[in-house]
Structure 1
Amino acid sequence: MPLHTTALVLFSGGQDSTTCLADALSKYQRVETLGFDYGQRHRVELDVRGNILAKMRERFPDWAPRLGEDHVLTLAALAQLGGSSLTEEVAFAMQADGLPNTFVPGRNLLFLTLAGALAYRRGLQVIVTGVCETDFSGYPDCRDDTMKAMQLALSLGLERRLVIETPLMWIDKAETWSLAHRLGGEPLVDLIVEETHTCYLGDRVHRQAWGYGCGECPACDLRKKGWERYAAALPAGAATTSTR
């Protein structure tokens, strides 16, 4: 019997968190999900979450019994702090400290703290998050060292052993698409393309080969380049959503 059997997935409704959810469902007996409303410009990501979860249950019957309760918590204070292009109508740009202004200081630290509290209350052992140190914007709260420090702090502060799992930490966006394909084949890749949302501008009008988005913001740029590398590596004649 595996050491850990339950997990809480930080589930935004985007490509990365949906892939992490599929990974957790392939391993754990009970999986719950957690989203955050923090005044993000791309709040549409919260709107697509329910549809993704419903389609997960419908299209993957082996996973459906494992998929438990969904939770959404509000963090209005992050928007009140201001200064980020994810919470204010300002252009994407680099800051004087070398970080993009899409960085929301403390966001992932707060997410994990609240996830730890919820996991404590719900009796969940593993917290799964889609942070990555390979294809990312340099956010310090996405680094492996930060995750290890948060795991230690939560376990000590809650007097309960919690594990923070980061399935995407050392892979790029192309490899994330490949991971989704290994986990759920074309049905999962199709679901991610059609239903998830990653665009920072909240664009659900323009349908790209890799999904909906403006095609220009930093999140779309990463996703697009990853899709192109993933699609180029497919065997000749293999079907992808972009060619059907």
Structure 2
Amino acid sequence: MSVILEKSTTSALVLFSGGQDSATCLAWALERFGRVETVGFDYGQRHLVEMEARQAVRAGMKTALPQWADRLGDDHVVDLTGYGRIAESALTADRKIEMDARGLPTTFVPGRNLIFLVAAAALADRRGLEVLVGGMCETDYSGYPDCRHETMEAMARALSLGLDKPVVIETPLMWLTKAQTWELADRIGGETLVELIIEDSHTCYQGDRTHRHAWGYGCGQCPACELRAAGHAEWVAGRGAQT
């Protein structure tokens, strides 16, 4: 969801997993807001490399975007391991990645983004942060209903009612393909930011950091890797066509 921000809006809380999408969203937020904090969620995900990637990308962001380094504020981690045990999936348990009876991938964690947004809204309220920023995307997503634009609109309304104040949820990637997400990162931070995303961000569902590809590290076979690889190839091809 994208809204016209008031000029007085100066701070944001980025839902930050350490993956390609959230890294791009963090750069997008640093470009726009005077104060940016990040929040990550430990929901019992099998691969702790995701939590490690968060810190590597955060640290590298100050080098990649030095002009906005002083805008990057505190990082927060919320313990949601109890929720993760309830909403078991291929991301939290040793299960095969496949389609379930509803036609959803077994990597789908029921209500994950909804839980994340509730926790983030509560944190933002206490921290005085005005906008929530998330990497949800409807154009290039792996079948997750909690990534849809309509879901984000409903959550913004519910949170606004529940907190008795306007809650703004910005999703700058909502209508972008993965190729366009690479393009956005390149526009914001050029080669330095793109290299940071390739080297330090983590998206692979298998937690693979041993295989290095042109687009970054991953198994190369899970749905997340396939989307990332295809998007990178399309972006590189588009750049070549322009030169």
TM-score, normalising length: structure 1 = 0.94
Residue 152 in structure 1 maps to residue 183 in structure 2: no
Letter of the 1:104 counterpart: V
Query: Hey, which bits of structure 1, 4+ residues long, moved more than 4 A?
Result: none
Give the Cα–Cα distance (whole angstroms) in 2 for the partners of residues 172 and 15 of structure 1. 13
* Runs of 5+ unmatched residues, structure 2: 1-5
Residue 62 in structure 1 maps to residue 67 in structure 2: yes
Report the identity percentage: 60
Contact 1:203 1:214 in 2 (8 A): yes
Give the Cα–Cα distance (whole angstroms) in 2 for the partners of residues 203 and 2 of structure 1. 42
Letter of the 2:153 counterpart: K
Residue 184 in structure 1 maps to residue 183 in structure 2: no
Match of 1:28 among 33, 55, 60: 33
Letter of the 1:37 counterpart: D
Contact 1:35 1:73 in 2 (8 A): yes
Give the Cα–Cα distance (whole angstroms) in 1 for the partners of residues 10 and 119 of structure 2. 20
Contact 1:41 1:200 in 2 (8 A): no
Cross-structure match for 1:46:
51
Contact 2:137 2:147 in 1 (8 A): yes
Contact 1:84 1:101 in 2 (8 A): yes
Cross-structure match for 1:90:
95
How far is the alpha carbon of 1:75 from its aligned partner?
A: 0.6
Task: Report Cα offsets for 1:163-193 as digits up to 9, x if no partner.
Answer: 0000000011000000000110111000000
Letter of the 1:67 counterpart: L
Give the Cα–Cα distance (whole angstroms) in 1 for the partners of residues 226 and 74 of structure 2. 32
Contact 1:18 1:192 in 2 (8 A): yes
* Runs of 5+ unmatched residues, structure 1: 239-244
How far is the alpha carbon of 1:237 from its aligned partner?
A: 9.8
Contact 2:64 2:189 in 1 (8 A): no
Residue 6 in structure 1 maps to residue 6 in structure 2: no
Match of 1:161 among 162, 166, 178: 166
Match of 2:24 among 11, 19, 36: 19
Letter of the 1:145 counterpart: E
Give the Cα–Cα distance (whole angstroms) in 2 for the partners of residues 32 and 200 of structure 1. 25
Give the Cα–Cα distance (whole angstroms) in 2 for the partners of residues 139 and 82 of structure 1. 14
Match of 2:145 among 111, 117, 140: 140
* RMSD of aligned residue pairs (Cα, Å): 1.4
Cross-structure match for 1:204:
209
Cross-structure match for 2:122:
117
Letter of the 1:38 counterpart: Y
Give the Cα–Cα distance (whole angstroms) in 2 for the partners of residues 142 and 113 of structure 1. 15
Letter of the 1:171 counterpart: L
SS in 2 for 1:9: strand
